[in-house]
Chain A
Amino acid sequence: MLLIRLAWRSLWRNRRRTLIAMSAVIFAITLSIIQRGMQYGTYAETIKTAVRMSTGYLQIQKIGYNKNPSLQKSFIVNRKIEEAVQGIPSINGASPRIQADALLSFRDQSLGVMIMGVSPKTENLVTDFPKKINSGRFITDDSTKESQKISEIVVGYKLLQNLNAHVGDSVVVLAQDFDGILENSFVKITGTFKTGSEDFDRTGAFMDISAMQNFLDMENKINAVALSVRNPDDLEKIDRQLNATLKPMGLVALPWEELLPQLKQTIELDNASGALYIIILLFVVGFGILNTVLMSITERFREYGVMLSLGMPQRKLAIAVALEVFFMLVIGFIVGNGIGAAVNAYWVQHPITLGGDIAELYKEYGFAPVLVSSLSFKIFVDSTLTILGISIVAAMYPLWRVLRLEPLKGIRYT
Chain B
Amino acid sequence: MENKHIASEIVRVENVRKTYHDNGVPVDALRGINLVVSQKDFSVIAGPSGSGKTTLLNIIGTLDKPTEGKIFLDGEEVASKNRRELADIRLKKIGFVFQAYNLSPVLNALENIEFTMMLRGIPADERKRRGLTLMEQLGIGELADKRPNEMSGGQQQRVAVARAISNDPRLVLADEPTANLDSATAAKLLDLMEQLNHESGITFVFSSHDPQVIERAHRLFILKDGQIISDKKNV
The interface of chain A, by Cβ under 8 A from chain B, is: 1-3, 5-6, 9-10, 13, 302-303, 306-314, 316, 407-412, 414
Contact = CB atoms under 8 A, between A and B. Distances in A.
Contact of A313 (B87, B114, B176): B87
B99 A411 contact: yes
B63 A410 contact: yes
Given A2-B111, A311-B90, A409-B58, 12 more contacts: A2-B115, A302-B102, A303-B104, A306-B104, A307-B104, A309-B61, A314-B84, A407-B63, A409-B64, A410-B54, A411-B99, A411-B179
Nearest to B176: A411
* Interface bracket on B: 35 or more
A2 B114 contact: yes
B1 interface: no
- 3 closest A-B pairs by beta carbon, nearest first, are A311-B91, A311-B90, A9-B106
Interface in B79-109: 83-84, 87-92, 94, 96, 98-100, 102, 104-107
Contacts of A411: 54, 98-100, 175-176, 179
A90 to B, nearest CB: 53
A3 B124 CA distance: 12
A3 B118 contact: yes
A306 B87 contact: no
B196 interface: no
Given A308-B87, A311-B87, A312-B119, A408 B104 contact: no
Contacts of B43: none
Nearest to B61: A309
B107 A6 contact: yes
Contacts of A5: 107, 111
30 contacts: A2-B114, A2-B115, A2-B124, A5-B107, A5-B111, A6-B104, A6-B106, A9-B106, A9-B107, A10-B106, A306-B98, A309-B61, A309-B90, A309-B96, A310-B90, A310-B91, A310-B96, A310-B115, A311-B94, A311-B116, A311-B119, A312-B119, A313-B84, A313-B87, A314-B84, A409-B64, A410-B61, A412-B54, A414-B98, A414-B99
A10 B61 CA distance: 28
B190 interface: no
B33 interface: no
Contact of A309 (B63, B100, B106): B63
B114 A314 contact: no
A302 B104 CA distance: 10
B192 interface: no
A2 B63 contact: no
Interface of B: 54-55, 57-58, 61, 63-64, 83-84, 87-92, 94, 96, 98-100, 102, 104-107, 111, 114-116, 118-119, 124, 163, 175-176, 179
A308 B84 CA distance: 10
A45 B179 CA distance: 75
Nearest to B95: A310
Contacts of B107: 2, 5-6, 9
Given A409-B58, A411-B99, A310 B119 contact: yes
A256 B76 CA distance: 75
B165 to A, nearest CB: 12
Contact of A408 (B57, B63, B176): B63
B106 A13 contact: yes
Contacts of B57: 410
B106 A410 contact: no
Residue of A307, A409, A411, A412 most packed against chain B (CB within 10 A): A411
A316 B83 CA distance: 13
Nearest to A306: B102
A390 B196 CA distance: 52
Given A312-B87, A313-B84, A411-B98, A2 B54 contact: no
Contacts of A414: 98-100, 102
A2 B112 CA distance: 10
A270 B98 CA distance: 62
A172 B92 CA distance: 102
Contacts of A307: 104, 115
A410 B87 CA distance: 15
B148 to A, nearest CB: 11
Nearest to B116: A310
B59 to A, nearest CB: 10
A410 B98 contact: yes
A402 to B, nearest CB: 13
Nearest to A313: B87
A413 to B, nearest CB: 10
A408 B87 contact: no
Contact of A314 (B83, B98, B105, B116): B83
A310 B94 CA distance: 8
B161 to A, nearest CB: 13
A311 B87 CA distance: 4
Nearest to A407: B63
Nearest to A315: B84
A115 B82 CA distance: 83
A10 B107 CA distance: 9
A311 B88 contact: yes
A287 B99 CA distance: 38
A259 to B, nearest CB: 62
B95 to A, nearest CB: 8
